[in-house]
Amino acid sequence: MSFNLLIVEDEPLVAKRLSRLSTDILDDQISALHLAPDLDAARNLVSSNPIDLILLDLNLVGSDGFELLKEFTSKAAHTIVVSAETTRALEAFEFGVLDFVPKPFTRDRLAKALARFWKPAFANEPATRQIAFETGTGFDVVSTIDILYFKGADKYSEAMLKSGAVKFHTKSLNRLEDILSANFVRSHKSYLVQRGAIKSLRSLEGSRYEMDLVDGNSLPIGRTRVDHVRHAISAWGGQNG
C-alpha cells in the first residue's frame, strides 16, 4: 500500500533530512512526497492532494502550535508531530496524533514513527482526549467523553454527541479507530462507540447482537466483532476496578 506524505517544516535542513530519511525508509511505499515550508503552502497541498500522512513541525514561523494541532488533526490524514518542544508531546497525543518525534531525530526513530501508520497505538501512550472538527469558520474541539459514537459515512465520519448534536469529521472510521482505540471500540464496520456510552449488550434472535447506549438508543454489533467488543468491555471493567 502506498500513500501520500506531506512534510510541513520551515527549517530547510530539517525538511531535507525528513524528506531524505522518509524516502529511504518507505522507499516505494510513498506514492508522492510534498514539502511545505509554511502554513499557507501546507493548506494548499492538503486541499489539492489526497494526503495520508503529515509530518508536522509545531514551530512554524508566526504560527501557534496549538492552532496547528487543531487544524491538522481535524484533517482526513494522520499526523505525526516532529518538534523540538517536547513539552507539547502530551498535548499532541491528546489531540490524536499518531506519534511525537522529538528533534533531533535519528533514522530509526523516524522509521518507528512512520510504522505507526500501519500499526498505530501503543498501550502505554496517552489516550486521545480531544478531537478537533472542521467547521465552516474554524475548528471545534470536543472532548472524547462527550461523544457517544462515530458512524462511518463513506470516507468520512459523523460523531453523535451526548448533547444530541451531530458533527462531521473528515477522517475515515478506520483512521479514527487508529487514534481512539484506547477508549472507543469498533462494534460494527460502521460504528465506533465510546466506552462510557455503552450501557449493555443484548443477544437477539438469529445470533444477532445489539448494544444499548446510555441515551436510550441501540446500535447493531457485527457478528465477527462480538468477541472483540466483549473483550474491550471486560478490559475497561478491569481498569475501572
Partner 1 sequence: MIIRYLFAVCLLCFASTAQAVSLSSNIGDERQSYAANPGNTETDPSWQPYSPFLKTDGAHFWYSHKISVYHEPGETVSNPLTLSVRLNGVFDFYWDGALIGSNKYLGKSASQYSRVHIPVSGLSEGEHQLKIHIVALGMRAGDSSDLRVAVAAVKSDFFGVHPTVVSTFFIATASLFLAGYLTVTLRTGRQRPGNVATIFFSIAIAMVVLLEDGRFLFKYPYGWQSFLDMLQPPFAVMFFILLTWLVLTRISYPNRLAWMVVLPVSLAISLIETGGIEHHIRLFFTLSLFLLALSSYGWYRGYGNARLFAIGFALAIVALLLDLDKGHLFLIVITVLFATDLAIDMRQQGKNAIRHLLMSERLRSDLIKRNVQPHFLMNSLTALMEWVETSPDEAVNFIDGLAQEFRILDEFSERRSVSLKQELALCNIHLTLMGQRLASCFRLEASSVDTDQQVPPALFHTLIENAFSHNDYRAFEATFVLTQETTASGRILRLSVPVKNPHSSSHSAGLGTRYIEARLEEFCGKAFSFQSEMIGSTWVSTITLNRH
Query: Does residue number 14 form part of the binding site for partner 1 (CB under 8 A)?
Result: yes
Determine contact, residues 123/157, Cβ cutoff 8 Å. no
Nearest distance from residue 29's CB to partner 1, in Å? Answer: 22
Residue type, 27: D
Binding positions for partner 1, 152-181, rule CB under 8 A: none
Residue closer to partner 1 by CB (options 59, 181) is 59
How far apart CA 171 and CA 155 sit, in angstroms, is 7
In this chain, which stretch among 16-24, 127-135, 141-149, 205-213 interacts with partner 1, using CB under 8 A?
Answer: 16-24
Q: Is residue 33 part of the contact set for partner 1 (CB under 8 A)?
A: no
Q: Which is nearer to partner 1, 17 or 186 (by Cβ)? A: 17
Q: Which is nearer to partner 1, 12 or 237 (CB)?
A: 12
d(CA 129, CA 100): 16
Cell triple for residue 65?
502550535
Q: What DSSP line would sit under 138-154, residue for residue?
A: SEEEEEGGGEEEEEEET
Q: All 3 cell numbers of residue 25?
A: 525508509
Over the Cα atoms of the chain, what is R_g?
19
Alpha-carbon distances, residue 61 vs 8, 39, 57 (angstroms):
11, 9, 10
Q: Strands (DSSP E) along the chain, which ranges?
A: 3-8, 30-36, 53-56, 78-83, 99-102, 130-134, 139-143, 147-153, 156-161, 166-169, 184-188, 191-194, 198-204, 208-213, 218-221
Residue 174 CB, nearest distance to partner 1 (Å)?
A: 32
Of 20, 189, 208, 231, the one binding partner 1 by CB under 8 A? 20
Size of the site for partner 1 (CB under 8 A): 22
Give least dist CB 11 to partner 1, A: 5
Among positions 38, 125, 140, 158, the unique one binding partner 1 when judged by CB under 8 A: 38
24 binds partner 1 (CB under 8 A): no
Minimum CB distance to partner 1 smaller for 85 or for 146: 85
Closer of 1 and 13 to partner 1 (Cβ): 13
CB nearer to partner 1: give 59 or 170.
59
13 binds partner 1 (CB under 8 A): yes
d(CA 75, CA 57): 16
Range 44-103, binding partner 1 (CB under 8 A) = 59, 61-63, 84-86, 102-103
- Kindly state whether residue 11 participates in binding partner 1, applying the rule CB under 8 A: yes
Query: Tell me, what DSSP letter sits at residue 181?
Result: T
Name the site residues for partner 1 (rule: CB under 8 A): 10-14, 16-17, 20, 37-38, 59, 61-63, 84-86, 102-106
